[in-house]
Amino acid sequence: MGNIKERTLVLVKPDGVQRGLIGNVIQRFETKGLKVVGIKMMSLDEAVLREHYAHIADKPFFPGVSSFMRSSPVVAICLEGLDVVNAIRILCGITKAREADAGTIRGDLAMSVACNVVHASDSVENAQAEVKRFFNPDQIFDYNKSEYMNVYVEDERA
Residues that are catalytic: 119
Binding of residue 122 to ligand ADP (CB under 6 A): yes
> What are the residues facing 80 on neighbouring strands?
7, 35
Q: Which of residues 61-90 bind ligand ADP (CB under 6 A)?
A: 61, 65
Binding of residue 36 to ligand ADP (CB under 6 A): no
Shortest Å, Cβ 60 to ligand ADP: 8
Shortest Å, Cβ 102 to ligand ADP: 17
> CA-to-CA distance for 52 and 68, rounded, in angstroms?
14
Using CB under 6 A, pick the residue from 15, 116, 117, 130 that binds ligand ADP.
116
Nearest to 109 by CA among 87, 84, 92, 85: 92
Answer whether 19's CB lies under 8 Å from 118's CB.
Answer: no
- Give the 3-state secondary structure of 133-158: HHCCHHHCCCCCCCCHHHHCCHHHHC
> CA-to-CA distance for 61 and 116, rounded, in angstroms?
14
Binding of residue 95 to ligand ADP (CB under 6 A): yes
- End-to-end CA distance of the chain: give it in Å, rounded: 9
49 vs 78 by CB, closer to ligand ADP: 49
Binding of residue 35 to ligand ADP (CB under 6 A): no
Shortest Å, Cβ 98 to ligand ADP: 13
Burial 116-138 (b: 16+ CB within 10 A, else e): bbbbbbbebebbbebbeebbeee
Binding of residue 39 to ligand ADP (CB under 6 A): no
Binding of residue 114 to ligand ADP (CB under 6 A): yes
Shortest Å, Cβ 61 to ligand ADP: 4
Kindly list the residues in this chain that would bind ligand ADP in the complex (CB under 6 A): 56, 61, 65, 95, 113-114, 116, 119, 122
